[in-house]
Amino acid sequence: MKSLKFDSTNALCGGLFIGVGCFFIYQCLNLELGTALRMGPGYFPLVLAVVLTLLGLIVLVQAIRVQGEPLGPIAVRGMAFILPAPIIFGLTVRGLGFVPSLFVAALVAAFASTRMKVPLAIALAAAITLFSVIVFSYALGLPFERFGPWVRF
């Protein structure tokens, strides 16, 4: 008898996609859907959730058909610095403003690499901040405060 072989990494990802997709499908059913010509507030999120669920099913089926490599070590340092960066940005952007919040978030995320040194991290955060201000503030003209009330004198 042949044993079932599958790719555990892709099976986990497929299951996660299916779970998140089903959660959002359930949430979208409480919103007005409308029709394809007159979309309600729940129509497009429902379509995206269905697509995510279908992609999860495809990934899950592919995981069952192929034997993959075992799960490797979890990058704890990467998660410890990458995951908090957007949270820090979200919590500080109204008070500090776009420029300082983005700089701090980029600085925190830079230390996900073990090879990152402080001067290089500061230069990287400054470059990302400068590029983002040029693109989002000047080129696209998005109306946000560059410096918030916490840093104004």
**103 near 129, Cβ under 8 Å?**
yes
Average pLDDT of span 60-78: 80
Spell out the residues 6+ positions from residue 111 whose beta carbon is closer than 8 angstroms to its own: 81, 121
pTM of the model: 0.63
- Domain boundary assignment for the chain: 8-65, 76-139
3-class secondary structure per residue, 53-112 = HHHHHHHHHHHHHCCCCCCCCCCHHHHHHHCHHHHHHHHHHHHHCHHHHHHHHHHHHHCC
16-32 tens-digit pLDDT: 999 999 999 999 988 88
**Percent of the chain, pLDDT > 70?**
93
**Could you identify the residue written with the tokens 């044993």?**
3
78-93 tens-digit pLDDT: 999 999 999 999 999 9
